[in-house]
Amino acid sequence: MKTTKRKINILKITSVLMLLAPILTVVGINFNSYFTVKKGFITAQAVEVSAGFILAAVSGGLLLIGKTKAFKGTRGLAVALALSILLKAVMNDLVLILTALTTGSLLYGVFKNPIKTLEQTYQYEKQAGIQAIAQKNVNRELFKELNNGNIGGGNLDGSV
pLDDT digit string (tens) for 29-72? 877 776 666 666 556 667 777 777 777 887 777 777 777 776 77
Pairwise CA distance, residues 11 & 7, whole Å: 6
Instruction: Report the pLDDT value the prediction gives residue 65, as an integer from 0 to 100.
Output: 78
Pairwise CA distance, residues 95 & 99, whole Å: 6
Please state the rounded mean pLDDT for residues 2-12.
86
Pairwise CA distance, residues 4 & 7, whole Å: 5
Pairwise CA distance, residues 47 & 10, whole Å: 36
Instruction: Report the pLDDT value the prediction gives residue 73, as an integer from 0 to 100.
Output: 73
Q: CB-based contacts of 84: which residues, under 8 Å, 6+ apart?
A: 91
pLDDT digit string (tens) for 86-136? 777 677 777 787 888 888 888 888 888 898 999 999 999 999 999 999 999
pLDDT at 160 over 70: no
CB atoms under 10 Å from CB of 115, counted, come to 17
Q: Where are the domains of the chain?
A: 2-111
pTM, entire model = 0.49
Q: CB-based contacts of 20: which residues, under 8 Å, 6+ apart?
A: 104
pLDDT at 2 over 90: no
